[in-house]
Amino acid sequence: MTSLSRLTERSDFLVENARFMTLATRGTDGAWASTVNFVPLRNPLRLMWYSLRRAQHSRNIESDPRTSGSVFMTGLSAGLGLDGAQFTGTASAVGPDELDELSSWYYERNFPDGEVRDQWRLPLEEFRGDGPRRFYVLEVHRWWLLDIDQWLVDKNDQRVAVPLDALGRRPSDGAYSQGGTR
């Protein structure tokens, strides 16, 4: 049996170091999956990215905010050399009152080097009003990890649930949390 502390450690590593997730949404045209570049927010656990408003997943979120997805990493030195998580949650566009602060956090996390960040930063006007883009935040409701320990025993792909209260809080890491504190 995998210990909660090990599950939490693995989950935190994925949340803090993976940069891409596969996002699944559902709309009038059916189910859709997209790969998006995310950054984490904590307290509670949320994943943030930006997309074009006309993208299929963006339109789907507007009509049905329920989402699911996965985060994974390969090339890891320990164990199988990979790890991954699945999640469910609800997503919504970032409102104008949080846009400045959350967009700053997104660019700081993705591009720690200021010169590189300036090259990638898009004008905020693109995210306001009738602009073509939006930042989105997915609040994670449930989180599961690949059950690596059991896979090593029987080669059956299974997952193990990780309680959100074990991964929502990381006060010492400087991660953005609800209420604007880092």
- Domain range for residue 62? 4-167
pLDDT digits (tens, 9 = 90+) for 61-115: 999 999 999 999 877 776 666 778 999 999 999 999 999 999 999 999 999 999 9
For residue 5, how many C-alpha atoms fall within 13 Å in the half-sphere facing its CB?
A: 0
Look at residue 82 in the predicted model and tell me its pLDDT: 75
Q: Look at residue 84 and tell me if it is in a domain.
A: yes
CATH, residue 47: 2.30.110.10
pLDDT digits (tens, 9 = 90+) for 112-151: 999 999 999 999 999 999 999 999 999 999 999 987 676 6
- Token pair for 50: 């930006």
Q: Look at residue 179 and tell me if it is in a domain.
A: no
Q: Look at residue 55 and tell me if it is in a domain.
A: yes
pTM: 0.88
Q: Look at residue 38 and tell me if it is in a domain.
A: yes
8 A C-beta contact, residue 176 and residue 46: no
Q: Look at residue 182 and tell me if it is in a domain.
A: no
Q: Look at residue 122 and tell me if it is in a domain.
A: yes
Number of independent structural domains in the chain: 1
Beta bridge partners of 172: none
